[in-house]
Amino acid sequence: MSGGYVLALHSHVVAQGPAPTVDQKGVPASDADPTTVTTEMASPPDSPETAHVGLEDNTNDPNSLLGVTWRSYRVAGLVFRPRVSSVGYSRSGGCIYHSSGSTAEVFNANLNLPYGSTIQGVRLYYNDTSLSNSTAWVTKYDLYGNIEQEWSVSSNGESGFGFTTTYFTDTVDYESFSYVLNWRPVVSGSTMQLCGMRVFYTPPPLFGAFLPAVQKP
């Protein structure tokens, strides 16, 4: 993977302004938006129940552009936990839902990507049959706990099982920042379920991973 390919991918996905949100059918939110992501860039839907924690190669995913293959990091919904003990939760298979306490409280999970990777976007998998939309987002904190930046995505009310994706770019730098996945249910009960989140990324250049350490004599 050369630097030229990465630059081409970046310029195609986020030309100017914020990246758009793509709905569960891979349709851009606004065809008039110059930053619209084409349907070819949206990966195919996959069963939320099969989502798992770990790194995944998506070599057959149409998120491959100009020879650059995106990878993804998945976290199943059942991994998420509320930030406060006063909030209760239940699960249904690999999904989780709010059962008691404030629905404004946040559930979260760690995001662990290879150092130097470039995040390309985040996808929310859900089972939403309510009249409202839940919200998920990636938070980037500095080393003192201050929010550096956030990127959000929402569920689609009353649609049942589905997913929504938002695309953006950011380089993973653990020397200066930490990264967390968040979800706010808004609704209590099984009509609003978090089934998983998927973070798309391109790994750091391969040559960096294989260079031997240089030590002074």
At residue 202, the 3 state secondary structure works out as strand
Q: Render pLDDT for 31-40 as a digit per residue (tens, 0 to 9).
A: 333 222 222 2
Cα–Cα distance between 23 and 163 in angstroms, integer? 7
Give a yes or no: residue 217 inside a domain: no
Give a yes or no: residue 216 inside a domain: no
Give a yes or no: residue 54 inside a domain: yes
Residue with tokens 């199943």: 76
pTM: 0.67
Give how far Cα 102 sits from Cα of 99, 129, 174, Å: 9, 19, 32
Q: What is the CATH number of the domain that holds 152?
A: 2.60.120.260
Give how far Cα 114 sits from Cα of 54, 119, 179, Å: 12, 10, 12
pLDDT (average), residues 134-149: 96
Give a yes or no: residue 138 inside a domain: yes
Q: Is 9 exposed, middle or buried (0-12, 13-18, 19+ CB in 10 A)?
A: buried
Q: Render pLDDT for 184-216 as a digit per residue (tens, 0 to 9).
A: 999 999 999 999 999 999 998 864 444 444 445
Task: Provide the residue range defining the domain that includes 126.
Answer: 3-207
Give a yes or no: residue 117 inside a domain: yes
Give a yes or no: residue 212 inside a domain: no
Give a yes or no: residue 213 inside a domain: no
Q: Render pLDDT for 45-86 as a digit per residue (tens, 0 to 9).
A: 343 333 333 344 344 444 444 455 789 999 999 999 999 999
At residue 7, the 3 state secondary structure works out as helix
Name the band, by pLDDT with cuts 50, 70 and 90, for residue 20: very low
Residue 55 near residue 202, CB atoms below 8 Å? no
Q: Is 211 exposed, middle or buried (0-12, 13-18, 19+ CB in 10 A)?
A: exposed
- Count structural domains, the chain: 1
Give a yes or no: residue 214 inside a domain: no
Both tokens assigned to 32: 């008039």
